[in-house]
């Protein structure tokens, strides 16, 4: 096109200059747009890189972390939490302080975590079983949806136990006696109104022994003391609370509340083997307030997962009679939703 303009008249030449100027302006405009797009792309890429760097270089944690346990010191939940917290503390480089807050069938502990600042410096041990209590009473939270449930750390193994010198050798013998002697049996679950209480009610309903005396306890250890003192006839507690008393010859375990027999004590039957319908899940969860920063959440979760994958930690938890079943994300969400539905169904049937 430029060569065509070389043979034009002066007038045409002026026109050529005008057109050339227009071409130049167009080219300049094109260059400005190109440079602008390139700069925008660089800025976007830089922002993404900066976000990734910020996440990777997060300074969390930079002070001690408070870990709320909704049971008293010495309980299996307390011991398991302290074991896990100690290992997480080593990896995170800051102290993790265990704060025991028993009461309200674990509701108090769940509420404290839910109402704490969502900065990662307050976490807790929770349980699906809190839904049982929340279905029966009003509280500052309505359910686990009011918390960030990061992971399932494992599952409890619970046992129904009597004194070693009692006349009952099997759960069936105990259930039939209680049915024939309504109101005479004294039962102590580790948590009144909680899942161990509900498990006994399922047993009682199966054998037709709904009328029984209820003696409250502050946890599994306290329930065991009531059994050994003769104040209670039967207790429902975490297996770890019964283990040492069984070894000492003072306590007899009649059945476990798990869906299957447990390898460590495979000679002990489950309540399902006596015909008791049992679809309850008793897990212990790693919880935090809703709204954690994503980088903080990832640091906590990845650290926990690494600790629970450690062979030595697994072995120690097994010694505490805790099942090593780690769950997170969608798998955990589905299980907890199903577990809550089961609890709601059982509770509805009981109120009809």
60 lies in a domain?
no
Residues of the domain holding 80:
65-156+284-351
261 lies in a domain?
yes
pLDDT for res 161:
98
Beta-carbon count within 10 A of 7 CB: 8
pLDDT(27) > 60: no
Does 298 share its domain with 266? no
59 lies in a domain?
no
52 lies in a domain?
no
- Indicate the helix (H) or strand (E) that contains 295: helix 294-308
pLDDT for res 351:
65
**Pairwise pLDDT comparison (38 vs 77), residue with the higher score:** 77
Mean pLDDT of 75-79: 93
Over its C-alpha atoms, the chain yields an Rg (Å, rounded) of 32
**pLDDT tier at 352, thresholds 50, 70, 90:** low
Does 248 share its domain with 319? no
Mean pLDDT of 118-135: 96
Does 179 share its domain with 125? no
Between CA 290 and CA 304 the distance in angstroms is 18
Does 213 share its domain with 142? no
Q: Strand order in 251-256's β-sheet?
A: 213-214, 186-189, 234-238, 158-163, 251-256
Last residue of a domain, one of 274, 303, 330: 274
Where does the chain show beta strands of DSSP type E?
Answer: 65-69, 96-100, 122-126, 147-156, 158-163, 186-189, 213-214, 234-238, 251-256, 283-289, 322-323, 327-328
Read off the pTM: 0.78
Does 294 share its domain with 327? yes
Please tell me the total count of domains within the chain: 3
pLDDT for res 57:
55
Report CA dihedral (155, 200, 166, 221) to the nearest 10 degrees. Answer: 50
Q: 133: which residues sit within 8 A by CB, 6+ positions away?
A: 104, 105, 106, 107, 139, 193, 194
Does 176 share its domain with 266? yes
pLDDT(304) > 90: yes
**pLDDT tier at 308, thresholds 50, 70, 90:** very high
Strand 186-189 relative to strand 213-214, pairing: parallel
Any idea what the CATH number is for the domain that residue 226 is in? 3.40.190.10
pLDDT(305) > 90: yes
């Amino acid at each position: 096109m430029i060569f065509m303009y070389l043979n034009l008249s002066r007038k045409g030449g002026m026109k050529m200059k005008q057109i050339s100027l227009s071409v130049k302006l167009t080219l300049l405009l094109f260059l400005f747009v190109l440079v602008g797009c390139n700069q925008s792309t660089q800025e976007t890429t830089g922002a993404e890189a900066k976000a990734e760097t910020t996440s990777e270089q997060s300074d969390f944690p930079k002070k001690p972390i408070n870990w709320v346990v909704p049971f008293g010191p010495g309980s299996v939940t307390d011991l398991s939490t302290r074991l896990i917290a100690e290992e997480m503390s080593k990896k995170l480089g800051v102290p993790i302080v265990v704060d025991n807050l028993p009461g309200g069938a674990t509701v108090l502990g769940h509420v404290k975590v839910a109402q704490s600042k969502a900065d990662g410096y307050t976490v807790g041990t929770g349980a699906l079983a809190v839904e049982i209590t929340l279905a029966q009473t009003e509280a500052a939270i309505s359910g686990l949806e009011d918390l960030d449930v990061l992971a399932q750390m494992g599952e409890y193994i619970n046992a129904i136990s009597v004194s070693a010198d009692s006349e009952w050798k099997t759960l069936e013998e105990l259930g039939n006696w209680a049915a024939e002697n309504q109101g005479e049996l004294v039962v102590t679950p580790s948590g009144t109104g909680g899942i161990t209480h509900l498990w006994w009610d399922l047993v009682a309903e199966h054998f037709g022994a709904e009328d029984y005396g209820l003696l409250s306890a502050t946890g599994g250890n306290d329930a065991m003391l009531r059994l050994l003192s003769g104040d209670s006839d039967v207790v429902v507690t975490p297996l770890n609370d019964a283990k040492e008393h069984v070894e000492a010859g003072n306590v007899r375990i009649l059945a476990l509340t798990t869906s299957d027999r447990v390898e460590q004590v495979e000679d002990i039957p489950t309540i399902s083997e006596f015909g008791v319908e049992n679809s309850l899940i008793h897990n212990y969860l790693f919880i935090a307030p809703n709204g954690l920063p994503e980088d903080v959440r990832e640091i906590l979760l990845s650290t926990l997962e690494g600790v629970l994958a450690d062979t030595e930690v697994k072995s120690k938890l097994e010694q505490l009679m805790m099942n090593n079943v780690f769950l997170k994300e969608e798998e955990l969400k589905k299980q907890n939703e199903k577990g809550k539905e089961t609890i709601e169904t059982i509770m509805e049937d009981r109120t009809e």
